[in-house]
Structure 1
Amino acid sequence: MLIEQITQALTALREQKPLVVNITNYVVMNNTANALLAIGASPIMAHSKQEMAEMMSFAGALVVNIGTLDSAWTKRMIFAVEQANLHNKIVVLDPVGCGASQLRTNTSRQIAQLANRLIIRANASEVIALAGEQAQSKGVDALDSSDTALTAAGFLVNEYGASVVISGETDYIVSNTQTVKLNNGHSMMPCVTGMGCTLSALTGAFAAVGDESGLAAAAVLGVVGEIAAEQARGPGSLQMALLDELYQLDEQTMRQRLKLEPLNRERVE
């Protein structure tokens, strides 16, 4: 049933080609825009308050990534989330480096509190820090394993009415109705900068066509990352192969390759 939902979401995305507004960091703009194009969505990297109200009136979703944060960006992000709320659009929050500084932690919590319809996509350490617990991180890199963030994810679901995607060696998608474990991907993927940011952007695209859990995006990136790594010689060729595999991905491949396991909801409360 879950695999059917994922493949239907992939078909819907390619048919609808949703516009995804990205307020994202300088490091990954090109990567995430290319990934959205490859999967079939339409990206725009919009940062100006002067056009954000107009953009959010017809966009499918808003992705907010705090990777290169400063006071000017924070004001733009807050305004964009307000406009997303006004037009009943989903917000995907990528709290890059949450826990590494008070600025990042406080800004992440402010955005999470403000968004009416929210998906949080983060690594384990960011999820733990966002929930107010002590996390282990080195800058923007997680030192906690995904399974250690399940309790924190459950807290965020209840606190913000959000769905939470914990990405890592194992991915967990936590919502108020279910928790799903994904075991796709490859150990080379963290060697490419912005892989998590790419997942956040894809999460926005799938949210725009109805998947507000984050499951479809995590499943897709895990499968294509796994396939791309089988042919890549290193991180450079992995990045190119991943775009090609996003473009080529079909339902049959998803059904053959996807490794998912529904878990009992009680395990995260």
Structure 2
Amino acid sequence: MPAIDHHAKSAWDTLEAIRAKAPLVHSVTNLVVTNLTANVLLALGASPAMVENVEEAGELAAVAGSVVINLGSMSAARTDAMQAATLAADRSGTPWVLDPVAVGALSYRSEVARGLLAHRPTVIRGNASEILSLAGGDGGGKGVDSTLDPEAAVSAAQRLAQSAGCVVAITGRIDRITDGDRLLEVHNGHQMQTRVTGMGCSATAVIAACLAVTRAASSDWLATTAQGLALFGLAAEHAAAASAGPASFQVALIDALFNLDEAQTLTGVRINPPPSEPRRPAP
């Protein structure tokens, strides 16, 4: 019998915990994908709350299992709610995930995102352009899309993780996750994810659900973040096999998250450290 990969086993344990505990995930997220994000969380086994008014955002963040802050839809009122939620999460120890949508491409949200770093996100998840921009470089983003390969932003992600004291995940064909020192790669996912809006936003929410159930433990946020991305990417692989195009893929993805079982997870999750660089010959 082949050995069970410990990353895959941990991913299954996390998924089982989500299904058993139904953690409350508080999302201040992109208006374009609110419904999809809520359905993804429900299919996973979590309990979504999409509260975005400043009168309640902080109160809910203090008692939620985790919080998602997604900059996809910005306004002064939503910014106030984001700040209230992240301040409350920081004070109460609630893990929270920052999704810096289009940071670098647009100045207002870039300023907001850098201000939110003061409230100590647990995880930052973005594409290569967003992460490079948030780290202080020129990400060269095209709206919400990245023009860079994730590999180009790895060094910036490590710097950002060190300066912000958090885990940084760069998602793309291969996801790279770092805590500033260690680095993991997730090789799950499918090209069809680029044809449906809200895939990155949904991945962020899945990460938050995983953080919520490991909150009480002495958690390794790096591994937990990788597990969330791997579970989402694995579901995307199953959804692509069962769909005819982008519309059916979106529906199939929700079903695939709901139906992920132990055998699929243990054999399908692909989380690895990066390959070692080849040794250079001695001069």
- TM-score for both structures, normalised by structure 2: 0.90
- Name the residue aligned to 1:143: 147
Of 246, 266, 274, the match for 1:263: 274
Rg (Cα) greater in structure: 2
**How far apart, in 2, do the equivalents of 1:248 and 1:90 lie?**
26
Counterpart amino acid of 1:3? A
Counterpart amino acid of 2:178? V
Of 23, 27, 33, the match for 1:22: 27
**Taking structure 1 as reference, are residues 11 and 177 closer, same or farther at Cα in structure 2, changes over 3 Å only?**
farther
**How far apart, in 1, do the equivalents of 2:275 and 2:181 lie?**
9
Equivalent runs, 1:185-196 vs 2, <5 Å = 185-196=189-200
67-76 vs 88-97, which moves further: 67-76
- Name the residue aligned to 2:233: 222
Of 174, 177, 183, the match for 1:170: 174
User: RMSD across aligned C-alpha pairs, in angstroms?
Assistant: 1.6
Deviations 1:12-42 (CA, angstroms, capped at 9, x unpaired): 1111110000001110000000000000000
2:62 counterpart of 1:57: yes
- Name the residue aligned to 1:233: 244
Counterpart amino acid of 1:123? N
Please state how far the C-alpha of 1:129 moved relative to its aligned partner. Answer: 0.6
The answer on whether the counterparts of 2:158 and 2:181 sit within 8 Å (CA) in structure 1 is no
Counterpart amino acid of 2:252? A
The answer on whether the counterparts of 2:54 and 2:77 sit within 8 Å (CA) in structure 1 is no
Counterpart amino acid of 1:130? L
**How far apart, in 2, do the equivalents of 1:206 and 1:260 lie?**
15
2-11 vs 230-239, which moves further: 2-11
**How far apart, in 2, do the equivalents of 1:57 and 1:127 lie?**
27
**Taking structure 1 as reference, are residues 184 and 237 closer, same or farther at Cα in structure 2, changes over 3 Å only?**
same
Task: Report how many aligned residue pairs link the two structures.
Answer: 265
- Name the residue aligned to 1:130: 134
Please state how far the C-alpha of 1:256 moved relative to its aligned partner. Answer: 1.3
Counterpart amino acid of 2:260? L
Segments of 5+ residues of structure 1 without an aligned counterpart are: none
Q: Does the residue aligned with 1:141 lie in a helix, a strand or coil?
A: coil
Deviations 1:213-259 (CA, angstroms, capped at 9, x unpaired): 31111000110101111121110000000000000001210121122
The answer on whether the counterparts of 1:62 and 1:204 sit within 8 Å (CA) in structure 2 is yes
- TM-score for both structures, normalised by structure 1: 0.94
The answer on whether the counterparts of 1:170 and 1:183 sit within 8 Å (CA) in structure 2 is yes
Please state how far the C-alpha of 1:176 moved relative to its aligned partner. Answer: 4.1
**How far apart, in 1, do the equivalents of 2:66 and 2:31 lie?**
20
Counterpart amino acid of 2:92? H
The answer on whether the counterparts of 1:21 and 1:45 sit within 8 Å (CA) in structure 2 is yes
Counterpart amino acid of 2:230? A
Deviations 1:114-152 (CA, angstroms, capped at 9, x unpaired): 223420010111011101111122111111011111001
Instruction: Point out the structure with the larger strand share.
Output: 1
Please state how far the C-alpha of 1:264 moved relative to its aligned partner. Answer: 7.6
